[in-house]
Amino acid sequence: MAESRVCLDCGKPLNGRKDKKFCDDACRNNHNNKLNSDDSIYVKKVNSILKKNRKILQELIPTEGKITVMEKKLKDAEFNFSFYTNEYITKTGTLYRFCYEYGYLKLEENRYMLVKREG
Ligand SMILES: [Zn+2]
């Protein structure tokens, strides 16, 4: 019994290699483009905010890995405090928020300590 396989993009029957999923590169590209555009606008928006946050931190943090800045400096750069990739709480209960490998810790008097995660 012949197994009938169809192109994942256009649905036409496929001939040839068993692992073939598309008629040709055009169908493959078309399918991939559709997948990408299915990424919701919200996901794209959040990703771009996180990337922007990361870039802001990256540009402020010196290579040695630590700096204290005023909140205003972050706000002026349009840093978005509502979005971060993860939180880290130290044994002493200090909360760091990270955007990828760059993190920040709120200090007193509207200051923030910016850090880079090691390794
Ligand atoms: Zn096709």
49 Cβ contact list (under 8 Å, min separation 6): 80, 83
Please check the confidence at residue 15 and state whether its pLDDT lies above 70: yes
Please check the confidence at residue 41 and state whether its pLDDT lies above 90: no
| pLDDT category of residue 44 using cuts at 50, 70 and 90 | confident
| pLDDT category of residue 3 using cuts at 50, 70 and 90 | low
Please give all residues whose CB falls under 5 A of ion ligand 1, grouped by chain where several chains appear: 7, 9-10, 23, 27
- The closest of 67, 80, 112 to 94, measured between CA atoms, is 112
Indicate whether this model's pTM tops 0.85: no
Distance 57 CA to ligand 1 centre (A): 45
Distance 31 CA to ligand 1 centre (A): 9
Q: Per DSSP, which regions of the chain are E strands?
A: 66-70, 86-89, 95-99, 102-106, 111-116
What residue has token string 């991939």?
32
- Give pLDDT tens digits for 24-34: 999 999 998 88
